[in-house]
Structures are given as structure tokens and as C-alpha cells.
Structure 1
């Protein structure tokens, strides 16, 4: 499914204390949606507040990037969390970010899982249902950003939450539409020209070529670029310029 417009999102606020990873200020001049770390894989209260203020000033939509409680592993380690506990922790993270979003004159407009949780809820129905329960527990029927065809999107739709399909310009895909695990060679696409080409192609054709050459449908409403990628700001600028040069409007989905 081709589109004449698409959202461009990035993971932001991924620092803690004196340690910073993402160039939030400059990325917020490029993206239309900000997936803000809520303290479980990265982020702390001052960082969340600052990113929300910057996003609100620049008209960038704020989303809660929820994670397993895993600061040491940056939320990328597999964890087994009981469903009730996960639901409560998802609600907790959304609520924390909502305080700072509202104080900045904005609000949390969507939810996106991070890292190991993102990949887990592609296939794990119980964990997917727990994430959805957490969104509902937080008090609003927020859109849920994730891979098309995932168990997360099935659970979201069943609960009345809008599922928003997402694609990745800088990540390699498997033939089944899932992401190639980061531990495998070629999982992260590092060539800027290739990332731009893939991003434009996904927006125009609704498909991406998987690692094995299979053409995979993605139907993305939003494209993600990782804020922790080396040269992330310049890459985001090139992707946006490429999309606009192809006649594709870059605008928030929420």
C-alpha cells in the first residue's frame, strides 16, 4: 500500500543522569513523532521533562516508549515478566511521561514498546495483551505503534486501540516480516544511501526487501530511525529530504 504521507519517528530521551546517548534537540528539528524513553530502559525525570518541552515547542508528537525494567541492558535483554506486573509497569511508564507532557502543554499521544519487549510482543500473545492492558490502565485508548501483523496489533485492535504499522529504514528484515536480530550480521543497515532508498521505497510501495531477497509487505504509517545510530541526525535529515523529494509529505500520524 503506497502513501502520499508518512510519519517519521525516532527514539529520544535515551540518557540517564550525566550520560546521554541521543541528540534530542537536533533530532526534534527533523522527526514528527518522538518515542520518549520512560525510565525503564533509559531516561530519567529531568530528561523526560526536557524532551517533552522541546517536542512541545517544535510541534512534535509525544509517544511513550515503554520497556522491560532493564537499565543495565538498555531494554534489549530477554526477560520473563508476569503479565499483571508488566501491565502495571507499562501504565506506570505512560503515567510518568504524561505528567511532563502535560506540563509542557502537550500530551502522550501513542505508545510504542522498546527493544526486547517490542520483539517479544510480535509473537507472544500474553505479553502483547499485558501491554495493551497497561495502556488501558493508564486511562486512554492510545494508538499502539508496532510491526504489522504482530500479536500486539491483534490485541490492540481487539481492545479498541488503534494499531499503527511501523517500518524501519535502518534495520534488516526476515522473510516473515520480523526484524533480523541485532546479533546477526547485517541486522543494522549502516549505509546512509541505502537507508534513504529503503525508506522511500517502503513509503511508496508499502514493501521492503528482506535479508534473503524476499519482498515483504509492511504497509507502514510511520518510519522509525534509531536515535542511537551513529550519525543519526544527518541520517534523519537525509531520509526526510528523500521522502519529500519523492513527493511524500512527512507528518505525524497522531
Structure 2
């Protein structure tokens, strides 16, 4: 691998890490970068899972302010999601790579729609909204985890959109909780992948370093950026990638 290609992966990791930690959707950048470096689609997804662990680690370290008083809630969501991630990982390993390539654009399109049109909660709505039954919350998080295990790409977008519908929290808190949920899911999925399939370690390590930096910077930037602008930008990127992958897959 050339120095220029390594630099491209590193920069892609920083940009993807920032995007993921402030909204979700790092793979909108990191997944295509891995493909460009010569990694096959299925293995690019798996390698991306490993790099995303460092993205979320950086984001969690930078989000202590938002997570204060919400660790119990984040822990419950993450536990349910992690169980789902294990199931999703085995689904990915059970289906051929061609199936995965065809599913990618559909998942990205859904991610973009959910993110752009996610409900914006007012202070009054947040205070009066009824809590969902814990069993229903557990099932929803299980499904979110299954999605994370099967397809790391844009999983943060969907998880964040679901949290905005489901909780009373403001955007910054839900975003921080999303990082905990996705971080745990990606960690467990990647551990399984390491023992079951191939990981492109060189590209993955370079990407992970970039994502760690981007993940740490993201939450700090989010405190000074319009939430509406974040939704629009990341949702638009998801649509662009969905079109690209649809063309290449079909």
C-alpha cells in the first residue's frame, strides 16, 4: 500500500469519525475509502467494524458531560443492542457477499430518510412524553443491534433516529447514548469476525487511528453546530452513497 493511499484512509477516518460521533454514518466515508484501497465489499464492512470501535471510544471519552446521569439508560440500551449485534454478525457470515452488496443501498436510503425526517422534540414534548414499556424498548434495541452486527454502515444514523423518537432526551444526550450503543455492538461483532473471517489489518489500523481522532473531535464540534444542519448534511450524504451503491450493485 502506498503512502498516499494510507494518507487517504487516515483522512477518511478522521472525517468519518467526526460524522459518526456527531450524528452517525461514518461508513458513508470510511466504507468507500476501504473499497478504493482494494478491499472487497464484505471484508471492507468487517474491517470497518473494527475501526469504528475506536471512533466510538473517542466519542464516548468526549461526551462525559452529556452522559452524566444517563449511564444506566445507556447501559440498558447497549446490553440489549449487543445481544442483537451477535445475531446480526452471524447473519452476515451466513449470507454470500453478493447479497450484502445488494442490501447496502437500501439500508443507506432508509438511514437518510429516518435521519432527515426524524422528529424534532420540543421541551414540552420531551417533558410530557410517556416512557415506552421496557420490554418494547428491549426489542427495539435488539433489532438495532442486529442491524449493527449485519451492517456497520450508517447504523448510527438509524439508532440516533430511533432514540429521538423513543426517549425524552435532547439531541446531544441521545447522540452520546448512541455512541455507547454502537460502540458496544461494533466491539462484540468485530471480536466474532476476527475468529471467523478475514480482516485487512493494515487498512483497518490506519482507519482506526483517524477515527479515534475524529470521534473525539465530533462531540466538541456538535456543541457549536445547528442540529438541523447536521441532519440535512448527513442525510444528504447517505442519499448520495445509496445512489452510488445502487448503481454498482444493480
Q: TM-score, normalized by length of structure 2? A: 0.28
Higher RCO structure, 1 or 2 (CA under 8 Å, sep 6+):
2
Q: Which structure has more strand as a fraction of its residues?
A: 1
Q: TM-score, normalized by length of structure 1? A: 0.27
